[in-house]
Structure 1
Amino acid sequence: MAARAATLLHSNAYPSASGSKKASSSSASSSSFTSALVDLRRPTLISRYFCSRKLSRRRSAFPLIVAHSVLPTEKPDRVSDRKEPKFSWRWLKAFAMGELQARKLRSPNTGTEALLMGILIEGTSQTSVFLWQNGITFFKARDQALKLIGKPNRYFFSPIRPPLTESAQRAVDWAVNEKLKLGENGEVNTTLMLLGIWSEEDSPGHKILTSLGFNNDMANELAKHANTDEVALSFGGLEGEAAAVLV
């Protein structure tokens, strides 16, 4: 009886040894699980780009969200491997807004119509301002998109990151390749993405642009500034719907 009591006393007096072993084993298993998850994550062009940049606290969280989206690295045979391009933060925001619009439309994929709406709702790039000034607004593009693809199914829920359609993927790849052709200066911006959408003639985005009055002359005008910093200097020409969105 005394021996049994001594055994119980000994086990109660030193619980930390066994507890520490369990804690260490659990921490080791969790660390190995975490490392396995990290190994499964394929780095994208955007994640590599932002790992080497210091961003403000306000902007730092956004690129991490977009880094795991479907990007041209998913189709490496379509994109030249001479140089990894850089993406402007307006491009990233427009891309994320396009994914969000695809989810709002309850679409299983992010199409060129969603990318176009992402550019328009971003609102601060020179491409977005150019479109708004020429009467191509987000609200008109959304109405045309609903006419093309129909009203969304209220019982369908889109994935968190809707993958790109084939035409949208080609549009993004076109923008990246054009940036590589233009040289190392500058970044892949919303101008190149819009021109990529315009290059897909059978895509919903191209049809929406055509129905709203966009033409080759406008595309050529935007192409002149495809490699410049996209800064909207003023919004003096924007009225009505544009002013409401930009504010």
Structure 2
Amino acid sequence: MAAAHSLSNPATISPVITQSENKSKPSSTSSFLKPHSLQSPWLGIKLSLQSSKPRPHLPNHRPITATVSFSLPTAKPDRVASTEKVPKWSRRAIKSFVMAELEARKLKYPTTGTEAFLMGILIEGTSLAAKFLRANGITLFKVREETVKLLGKADMYYFSPEHPPLTEAAQRALDWAVDQKLKSGDDGEVTTTHLLLGVWSEVESPGHTIMTALGFNDDKAKELTSLSSEPES
């Protein structure tokens, strides 16, 4: 009965609860002031959202600088040195050139040729030239397939240079594109269409051979030329 009386007396209950709460409290209350910590009124324990593992020290990264180029390699340095205003290459054409170099490295070829220009144009994919090729059934997969058939597979242990040098045909294709732009007398940039037609102008190059095998011809080249009257946006 004494035990029952003690349980019914609130005065005897509070010291027991207080003593139990004091035992559950941590020795230092400063931990409750840390960020991302919660005190659950239902469980009576502290829930921490912080990991107990120390965070690794991250070194300061050096800022990355990028240089934007508006010209591509030329075999006619006298043109650049002359007073003649040399037209700039379009953003899509420059990206196509960069993708061509990467594709040559991917295939482990020692040089960037006209066949790589075709693949670069298709990888960039948004230019009039790329859309015209796809509309005529010339896709990246088909060009890659024809390239391997024509040039073969490179040694799997060969490491292509970071910037595979241009073949003579590829360099002539670039210069042809600039020459055609200068002959037109129009303002604006040298576009991806000029680059593709430059590949077509190199009759004995792998790029021309692949285009012919996939159904491209002089009539399609004239059609593309007429479509390219509007500048690339």
Q: State if a TM-score over 0.5 links the two structures.
A: yes
Aligned residue type for 2:77 = P
Matched, 1:117 2:119: yes
- 2:228 and 2:188 map into 1 onto residues whose CA distance is 9
Q: Secondary structure at the match of 2:227?
A: coil
Matched-pair contact (CA < 8 Å) for 2:80–2:86: no
**1:166 alignment counterpart:** 168
Aligned residue type for 2:137 = G
RMSD over aligned Cα atoms: 2.2
Cα deviation code 1:180-210 (max 9, x no counterpart): 1112412101100110000101000000000
Matched, 1:129 2:131: yes
More helix by proportion, 1 or 2? 1
Measure how far apart 1:79 and its partner are. Answer: 7.8
**1:75 alignment counterpart:** 76
Measure how far apart 1:133 and its partner are. Answer: 1.1
Q: Secondary structure at the match of 2:68?
A: helix
Q: Percent identity of the aligned residues?
A: 57
Q: Which runs of 5+ in 2 are unaligned?
A: 1-64
Matched-pair contact (CA < 8 Å) for 1:172–1:193: yes
Aligned residue type for 1:191 = T
Q: 1:176 aligns with which of 175, 178, 189?
A: 178
CA gap 1:78/1:201 in 2 versus in 1, 3 angstroms: farther
Q: TM-score, normalised by structure 2?
A: 0.67
Larger Rg: 2
**1:211 alignment counterpart:** 213
CA gap 1:227/1:161 in 2 versus in 1, 3 angstroms: farther
**1:201 alignment counterpart:** 203
Measure how far apart 1:77 and its partner are. Answer: 5.3
Aligned residue type for 1:99 = E
User: How many residues are matched?
Assistant: 168
Matched-pair contact (CA < 8 Å) for 1:108–1:158: yes
- 1:92 and 1:178 map into 2 onto residues whose CA distance is 17
Q: 1:153 aligns with which of 152, 155, 158?
A: 155
Q: Which runs of 5+ in 1 are unaligned?
A: 1-59, 232-247
CA gap 1:187/1:194 in 2 versus in 1, 3 angstroms: same
**1:13 alignment counterpart:** none
**1:93 alignment counterpart:** 95
**2:141 alignment counterpart:** 139
Measure how far apart 1:80 and its partner are. Answer: 9.7
Matched-pair contact (CA < 8 Å) for 1:98–1:118: yes
- 1:200 and 1:117 map into 2 onto residues whose CA distance is 16
CA gap 1:136/1:79 in 2 versus in 1, 3 angstroms: farther
Q: Secondary structure at the match of 1:181?
A: helix
- 1:110 and 1:83 map into 2 onto residues whose CA distance is 27
**1:22 alignment counterpart:** none
Matched-pair contact (CA < 8 Å) for 1:106–1:156: yes
Q: 1:84 aligns with which of 83, 86, 89?
A: 86
The equivalences for 1:34-49 within 5 A come to none
Matched-pair contact (CA < 8 Å) for 2:128–2:228: no
Structure 1 segments (4+ residues) deviating >3 Å = 77-81
- 2:81 and 2:137 map into 1 onto residues whose CA distance is 35
